[in-house]
Chain A
């Protein structure tokens, strides 16, 4: 059974860089043919797709965040990571990693999801 687990700091200071990692178990991140994505959820904006990555390193990003985010993948560790630069209070959210449902590139649905990790941006 495929499982995803997010990890990273729960508190980040404004203007700093935030990094989160998603560890995948129960399947290979490079052999499934799926894209792997990040979605965040905040009380103000609800659910928001951030971006997705393929095992070859091809990435797609939400235009609203593209200038501040990057996603990388480490197939040897079966992990992929999200970096958000110059964070503000508006980046406070629960961040989920997830697998795209279908093989084609985004936009796509997500299943399964990790349990999520809360990141608070505050000094």
Chain B
């Protein structure tokens, strides 16, 4: 199965800064990658699907890019509500698998 490696494990930034989160697959998955945001005690929330498409209701400061094996989630001008754990998830190969997450902390 596809292994997704997320880096860094923790990212400490201040509101207003730019966050760059990485997800790397051990085999090519074309553009079939999503990003979820999860806050404590809540379910994951879909943020980006198919590498670069924002899900419904997601602010424009969230953007995704990449294809093949390397993907990036960028949050420009971080807002206080953006501090959470972010997971990547691939549907390009059977079975679908998730990364272990990047925690975005307030610096």
Contacts and interface: CB of A to CB of B under 8 A. Distances in A.
A109 B49 contact: yes
Nearest to A113: B43
User: How extensive is the interface on chain B, given as a class?
Assistant: 20 to 34
Contacts, number: 57
Tell me what chain B mostly uses at the interface: helix, strand, loop, or mixed.
loop
Interface stretch (B16-24, B66-74, B76-84, B91-99): B91-99
Contacts of B46: 101, 109-112
Contact of A46 (B55, B95, B100): B100
A107 B98 contact: no
Interface in A83-123: 96, 98, 101, 106-116
B89 A109 contact: yes
A62 interface: yes
A108 B43 CA distance: 17
Contacts of A63: 95
Interface of A: 46-49, 62-64, 96, 98, 101, 106-116
The 8 closest A-B pairs by CB, nearest first: A107-B96, A113-B43, A47-B98, A111-B46, A107-B91, A109-B34, A46-B100, A62-B95
